[in-house]
Amino acid sequence: MKGKLKLEKGSLVTLSTHRKAAKSLLNTAPVYSDSPSVERIKANLKEPPSVRKEHTGFVTTKKGLDFDSFPMQLFQKAKKFGIWNPSDINFSVDREQWKSLNKEERTILIHLSSLFMAGEEAVTLDLLPLIQTISKEGRIEEEIFLTSFLWEEAKHTEFFSRFVAEVMIERPDFESFHGVFYKKLFYQKLPFYLNALFTDTSPLAQLKASGTYNMIVEGTLAETGYEAYHTMLRENDLLPGLQKGITLLKQDESRHIAYGLFLINRLLADNPELKNPFEDHLEELLNDATNIIHEIFEPYDVVPFGLEKEWFLDYAIRQFQLRMNKLGV
């Protein structure tokens, strides 16, 4: 993947900005089994870096915080717009509406919720290595923002757990909805690339971690899923508590993605030779992401609430291309 991608019959994705790309994707519906194994990636990890055992000084007592920096601007927004409490959301109407849904409608809502629940928990669990890496580099403004980032991911995890506990009558096996490609990305690759930062904090390792987390998991899959979920609920006048939470959650995620683009831009500006390896990494992960979308729709002949695979694929591709354009790659 060098520059813009082109979609060809028989290959998964090469991006173009036009909306017909998703239709071509539907015809390919490939299955990938040749992505690098965890064992092969582990073999390329570097030796652990030296651990910072003491402070030699502090930014705040020397030059002071850079309040005009982009991370500090995001932090101000987080304090203004991110102060919402999942326990304040009223699910009473959601609970009554849930009782009136038929089996198929409940199933798709449980299915999608299972992906969001695990996804939010995963990004909460896996963010710490990046925070530690930024901290060790002495980037205090970025670290300050990342404290709000982690706190918000924890709130998102709480929000979905509360929705399930307070609204769903049944307690299904949520993980039964996690398919092969979902597990490959969320169970394996996301924690792998983030935890790799414990032993390898090189610019390429940071690019792979942020690319996985911010570009693919948040900026492509989560954003697509939440947009579809929220639109579906709004158009069918369903589950107002869930709608409200997703609206607030999407605002938080927009700041997270913005930081990810800032981080990637900084790393690529300092290390332009890493552009091609980074693009190759994203191509591999985009394969997984689009296959997850195929996987979601596989069990259904007719998907309730008018959800369409083509829309999911088209939106995901456009969001990915939008971020690639902002990065200039």
Full DSSP string of 220-240: IIIHHHHHHHHHHHHHTT--H
Range of lowest pLDDT (143-152, 166-175, 185-194, 238-247)? 166-175
**Residues 166-219: tens digit of each pLDDT:** 999 888 999 999 999 999 999 999 999 999 999 999 999 999 999 999 999 999
| Domain-embedded: residue 37 | no
> Average pLDDT for residues 155-173, to the nearest whole number?
94
205-179-41 Cα angle (round to 5): 25
**Is 119 a member of any domain?**
yes
Is 128 part of any domain? yes
Structural domain contains residue 110: yes
Residues 6+ apart with CB under 8 A from 303: 108, 297, 309
Residues 6+ apart with CB under 8 A from 40: none
Q: Using the 8-state DSSP alphabet, how is residue 169 labeled?
A: S
**Tokens 């850079």, residue?**
66
- The better pLDDT of the pair 314, 48 is held by 314
Report pLDDT digits (tens) over 272-315: 999 999 999 999 999 999 999 999 999 999 999 989 999 999 99
What letter represents residue 67's amino acid?
A: F
Q: Is the pLDDT at 158 greater than 80, yes or no?
A: yes
Q: What percentage of the chain reaches a pLDDT higher than 90? A: 79
Phi and psi, residue 48, nearest 5°: -55, 135
Let me know if residue 204 belongs to a domain: yes
Tokens 């173009």 correspond to 16
Domain that holds residue 129: 89-327
Render the burial of 250-282: b for 16+ CB within 10 Å, e for the rest. Answer: eebbebbbbbbbbbbebbbeebeebbeebbebb
**Chain-wide mean pLDDT for the chain?**
88
Range in 46-55, 114-123, 189-198 with the lowest mean pLDDT: 46-55
Residue 284 lies in a domain: yes
pLDDT score recorded for residue 32: 46
CATH number, domain of 216, equals 1.10.620.20
| Residues 184, 280 contacting (CB under 8 angstroms) | no
State the pLDDT at residue 51. Answer: 60
Please report the DSSP string for 125-168 in residue order.
HHSHHHHHHHHHTT-HHHHHHHHHHHHHHHHHHHHHHHHHHHH-
Residue 77 is assigned to a structural domain of this protein: no
pLDDT of residue 296: 95
User: How large is the average pLDDT for residues 92-110?
Assistant: 96
Number of domains the chain is built from:
1
